[in-house]
Structure 1
């Protein structure tokens, strides 16, 4: 695996992992790269300094009994402004709305029709059910993250 610093035509900078340098080159030639911020298709590698300093590490036990070191920052910690914004949005949605799971389409329709008390809800819906809600003038939108109940 190799991580490249990338930049789009608009100047947005982001990082992405690739299987190897050839994988990056193949995706770039095929036009399959896009900016993680604006979606622009003109993306190229930008200057990236190697990590030279020692990072804080936490010793862990492997199955063989040795203790390799791993970075102290957990993977779940936001490392970019975009990740922080998504984490903040997720926290707000979870704090200020009720999770209704797979019943989302039914509950949203019932709230809209006045059959259930008005409140903010979030959950999952099949694409055809979400389209039906929109066609009937019921305001819904996809969230840019999966339910925590659906992740490992």
Structure 2
């Protein structure tokens, strides 16, 4: 396994494990490599000393505080996902039904347009955008 230091356009640093440098290039050209924090697939390889993952140890070039912050954000997002019901593109409709006591009160998440989100706020319905990284949208293998 070849371990590469990668970074997305938003400055998130992370490691990628590939069979070879050619494997990384192949996956990158097909837009298969993406940031585990924000899901961006415009990923750049950072300069680093070559290393192979031969033990269980991991390293990163990111400052320890940044890595710790990313880990805390990911844990918080996982908790939100576990404690909310995904109503998909019915978010605005379901939020209104809950607000007007037409549906049981519960924590929901989903997708809506900026216009619908603004309309919800104007109706007194609290909403908060929460970008979910692609890494959290599917169960980890």
TM-score (normalised: structure 1): 0.48
Q: Which runs of 5+ in 2 are unaligned?
A: 15-46, 59-65
Q: Which residue of 2 aligns with 1:82?
A: 69
Map residues 108-147 of structure 1 onto 2, 5 A cutoff. 108-146=95-133
How far did 1:133 drift? 0.3
Distance 2:12 2:114 in 1: 30
Q: Which residue of 1 aligns with 2:19?
A: none
How far did 1:81 drift? 1.9
Please tell me whether Structure 1 or Structure 2 has the larger radius of gyration of its CA atoms. 1
The Cα RMSD (Å) is 3.5
Answer yes or no: is 1:51 the counterpart of 2:38: no
**Number of residue-to-residue matches in the alignment:** 90
Higher RCO (CA-CA < 8 Å; seq separation 6+) = 2
Give the one of 58, 65, 81 matched to 1:94: 81
| Deviations, residues 86-135 of structure 1 (Å, cap 9, x unaligned) | 21122111111100000000001110100000000001001110000001
